[in-house]
Amino acid sequence: MEAPIRAREALGFILFSLLFSICRSSSLNHLLISNAERRIDLSSHIVKVYLTLKVENAGSTPTSEVLLSFPPTQADHLATVEALVTKGKRKKTTLVRLDVKATELPDAPNDAKYFTIYLANPLKSGESTTIEVLYLLTHSQEPFPAEIAQSESQLVYYRDSALILSPYHIKQQTTFIKTPSTKVESFTRVEPSNRAGTEIKYGPYEDHPPYSFSPILIHFENNSPFAVVEELVREVEISHWGNLQVTEQYTLVHAGARHKGVFSRVDYQSRPTLNGASSLRYLLARLPPRVHSVYYRDEIGNISSSHLRTDSRKSELEIEPRYPLFGGWKATFVIGYGLPLQDFLFETSDDRRYLNFTFGCPLLETVVDKLTVKVVLPEGSKDPSAVVPFPVEQHLETKYSYLDVVGRTVVVMEKKNLVPAHNSHFQVYYTFKPIFMLAEPLMLASAFFLFFVACVAYLHIDLSIRK
């Protein structure tokens, strides 16, 4: 396997050097990065990259836009990009979040994808600023070997570049890669590079022109379970009688190296650390405080292996799938719970109501490939609108629940490739007249009333033909 990989790397390198020569002429603006430090955390299956860029404006015009670029393979797996800038001096520093937007550039070399960071204050000529960038990559560790037996541990590949891909000239850069354990099978050497303990250091490299790229491949042990929710449907149903009912349908898969051959219960029970080290035994869901009536079940019934711990700040639900998940094994299940409405439903000054709820998946350390959030508004509510901090696809549906006549409006939001960092709040605004709350009790009451009237009438009327 070694030879073709090398060849591919070499090819990549040549390609990028070619590109570099093309792009050199059309420099975007006059920014340059005087110092870049990148820390890649590979300890779980979600790759966390912390990038510290010291950006300098070498041109003459002030600018407030800084570009980040990613190779297309990474861009597909990019879950979130955040940029922060430190403000204040010395100990009174605060971090300020900056706007980041995906941008298309017409002459992107080799399909590189861009994100633009908008600085709060334009960077004047000759000034420099430090930007902290955090981005998360999912599905970026490829298990190799792709199939392992129960007693083997899981080895994965991680591909990246030793040099930071950037449209700007980088004067000095270093990359640190943290692996989950000291067991590293191999890593590509790009001098100067060395490994100490769980850390691999690439660099420092001096003076690299824009779009420099030097592919690296790290082969290391990662036994953390690759919990991936292929599809999650969250349904939040608002009842103005004081309850918020949440139902979450999961399709969970262990996306690590596929399990091969025998599953032996004896080995799994007697030597759990050696056998099935990468298996997924349990999951932790962090639910809002004051949660009640929690259930955990699947298509064929209740799953009895779950524990709920509640305190005033949060609730933790520990769930075990029916069976431990090995690589490639799947499990589907449903979690449902009720919440007190007053914690999540508020009123605006103009008499509209809004629901304030978290968007993402409550499971910790889990990637969600596709998330659908459905907010079921009470019957009779009007003009729904959703405010979500990141782009989502939206549409409306109608749902019929208990004793509904016209149906409830459902606001549906869809998003792909989510990580726990997406657990921010979103709002759904709507108008609702409280009189609609009485419709269903009145309907029931009148049905019973009619029934009793019919009984009374039947007892008092003689229907027989003969007298």
Partner 1 sequence: MATMPASASDLLKSFKLKTKQQELLIRVSILCLVYILAFITRLFSVLRYESMIHEFDPYFNYRTTLYLTENGFYDFWNWFDYESWYPLGRIVGGTLYPGLMVTAVLIYRILRFLRFAVHIREVCVLTAPFFASNTTLVAYFFGKEIWDSGAGLVAAILIAVCPGYISRSVAGSYDNEGVAIFALLFTFYVFVKAVNTGSLAWSLASAFGYFYMVSAWGGYVFIINLIPLYVLVLLITGRYSMRLYVAYNCMYILGMLLAMQIRFVGFQHVQSGEHMAAMGVFFLMQVFYFLDWVKHMLSDTKLFQAFLRITVTSAVAVGGIALGLGMVSGYISPWTGRFYSLLDPTYAKDHIPIIASVSEHQPTAWSSFMFDFHILLFLFPAGLYFCFKRLSDATIFIVMYGLTSMYFAGVMVRLILVATPAVCLISAIAVSATVKNLTVLLRSKNKVVQTGSTKGSGGSKSSSKALLDQSQPFQKNGAIALLFGAFYLLSRYATHCTWVTSEAYSSPSIVLAARGAHGNRVIFDDYREAYFWLRQNTPQDAKVMSWWDYGYQITAMGNRTVIVDNNTWNNTHIATVGRAMSSYEDEAIEIIRSLDVDYVLVVFGGVTGYSSDDINKFLWMVRIGGGVFPVIKEPDYLVNGEYRVDKGAAPKMLNCLMYKLCYYRFGEMMTEYGKPPGYDRARGVEIGNKDVKLEHLEEAFTTSNWIVRIYRVKPPNNRW
Positions touching partner 1 (CB under 8 A) are 261-266, 270, 297-305, 322-323, 328-332, 400-405
Quick one: which H or E segment has residue 443?
helix 439-460
User: Which residue bears the tokens 């918020």?
Assistant: 244
Whichever of 121 and 270 has its CB closer to partner 1, that residue is 270
- Closest listed residue to residue 76, CA positions, set 138, 164, 25, 153: 138
Q: Give least dist CB 260 to partner 1, A.
A: 11
* Sheet with 199-208, side-by-side order of all strands: 63-70, 113-123, 94-103, 78-87, 128-137, 47-57, 31-41, 169-178, 199-208, 193-196
User: Based on CB atoms, which residue is closest to partner 1, 50 or 329?
Assistant: 329
Compute and round to an integer the Cα radius of gyration of the chain.
28
Q: Can you tell me the distance from the alpha carbon of 38 to that of 165, in angstroms, rounded to the nearest whole number?
A: 11
Q: Which residues contact 455 (CB under 8 A, 6 or more apart)?
A: none
Residue 304 sits at φ, ψ, to 5 deg, of -85, -10
Please report how close the Cβ of residue 72 comes to partner 1 at its closest, in angstroms.
Answer: 33
Nearest residue (CB) to partner 1, 120 versus 455: 455
CB of 467 to partner 1, least distance (A): 15
Is the CB of 4 or the CB of 261 nearer to partner 1?
261
Q: Which is nearer to partner 1, 72 or 407 (CB)?
A: 407
Cα distances (Å, whole numbers) of residue 65 to 60, 103, 131, 422: 14, 11, 12, 24
* Sign of the CA dihedral running 300, 302, 308, 312: positive
For residue 228, the minimal CB distance to partner 1 (Å) is 14
Q: Give the number of other CB atoms < 10 A from CB of residue 97.
A: 10
Q: Between 84 and 149, name the residue whose CB sits nearer to partner 1.
A: 149
| Distance in Å, CB of 462 to partner 1, minimum | 11
93, two tokens:
């520093």
Task: Give the Cα separation of 321 and 325 in Å (integer).
Answer: 8
Compare residues 164 and 236 and give the one whose CB is closer to partner 1: 236
Q: How far is the CB of 65 from partner 1 (least distance, A)?
A: 48
Smallest gap, in angstroms, from Cβ of residue 461 to partner 1?
11
Query: How many residues are given for the chain?
Result: 467
